[in-house]
Amino acid sequence: MTETPEAKEQSASLERTVARSREIDAELARNPSAFRMLTGDRPTGDLHIGHFFGSLLNRVRLQDLGVQTVIVIADYQVITDRDGVGPIKDRVYSLVADYLAAGIDPAKTVIFTHSAVPALNQLMLPFLSVVTDAELRRNPTVKAELEATDGRPMSGLLLTYPVHQAADILFCKANLVPVGKDQVPHIEMCRVIARRFDERYGRADSAQPVFPAADALLSEAQMILGTDGTKMSKTKGNVIELKMTADETAKVLKKAVTDSDRHITFDPVNRPEVSNLLTIAGLCLDRQPAEIAAEIGDQGAGALKKIVTEALNDRLSTHRERRAGFVEDPGYLQTVLADGNARANQIADQTLEEVRAAMRMAY
């Protein structure tokens, strides 16, 4: 297979990011307070176990390590590829409940919705001035997201959302962005914007550029698939959401796809469904999936499902209890978000002031 220059550049960029991620991991342990981390979620649905093991736990780990932590609920990003916002308010509070249940501490971490922060959104204008239409059209993540909409025309917001995402990151001068592989092109764009802003508009009186170069931090965690061994998707009914009860979880796992070989082995390439269940059990029990497979041996898929159901329900029980407590107290969730939004506004106002000064627009 011949690779296009674009595909080549994309895999080279990913390689650089992986190498840099490792370096950062080492630096994080030495000097956590040198980092400000920003990451976030689109409120398009409820969080599932992929989010829990793939990102929530890592956010909590970094927060507790002493990294300054900011979480954006990217509500404007919901309308990049669909016509309406859906039950957005419920989804936003559901995210806040999951963050808190997972151990995000609102005294340490700013949780905010970007629609509530005018100065962040205003950064979009100078940022748009430093990128070209061709660069935006080349963005592989935007292309993939457009393709996933089944023939919808590209909206102006979909085309430019990587620039808006750069505003999410740069409004608070974050230098660390934990994301999945698919988001790496956006972090590159964010670095380009920070650099070009400095080249084109300069600085006010400071020796430092207004914006830092942000690094992506890639998760080393093995990707979790849906219970049928394909990508998780709500419409396929293959997802285990954090808000599900233990019984609902058991039901989804009972229907999980396995294969006809009774002897259980960990073989992600040839046995993706069985291996995915072993991966989930491994994450819950903090054990190697292959070791769990060896213990199950010839007892078959029934035994595997029993183990993974128990392990998962056990692992999520504290999260679910705490989550239920928060959901019963919507007033508290509102206060957390209102506080987070107020703090995000303070930070964004300060940054916009610096931007105005750098652009000689402070009148």
Please report, as ranges, the residues that interact with ligand TRP according to CB under 6 A. Answer: 38-42, 72, 74, 77, 165, 168-169, 177, 179, 183
Residues 45, 10 contacting (CB under 8 angstroms): no
How far the first Cα of the chain sits from its last, in Å, is: 57
Please state, in angstroms and rounded to a whole number, the distance separating the CA atoms of residues 36 and 140: 27
In degrees rounded to 5, what are phi and psi of residue 150?
55, 60
Pick the closer one to ligand TRP by CB: 166 or 358: 166
Which residue, chain included where needed, has tokens 């997201």?
Answer: 145
For the chain, how big is the Rg over CA atoms in Å? 22
Which residue, chain included where needed, has tokens 């995402």?
Answer: 165
Residue 34 CB, shortest distance to ligand TRP, in Å, is 19
Residue 181 CB, shortest distance to ligand TRP, in Å, is 11
Residue number with the smallest Cβ distance to ligand TRP: 74
Please state, in angstroms and rounded to a whole number, the distance separating the CA atoms of residues 58 and 60: 5
CA neighbor of 120 nearest in space, from 167, 169, 162: 167
Pick the closer one to ligand TRP by CB: 66 or 180: 180
Pick the closer one to ligand TRP by CB: 165 or 227: 165
Residues 280, 49 contacting (CB under 8 angstroms): yes
Residue 174 CB, shortest distance to ligand TRP, in Å, is 8
Residue 88 CB, shortest distance to ligand TRP, in Å, is 15
Pick the closer one to ligand TRP by CB: 165 or 275: 165
Pick the closer one to ligand TRP by CB: 179 or 293: 179
Residue 166 CB, shortest distance to ligand TRP, in Å, is 8
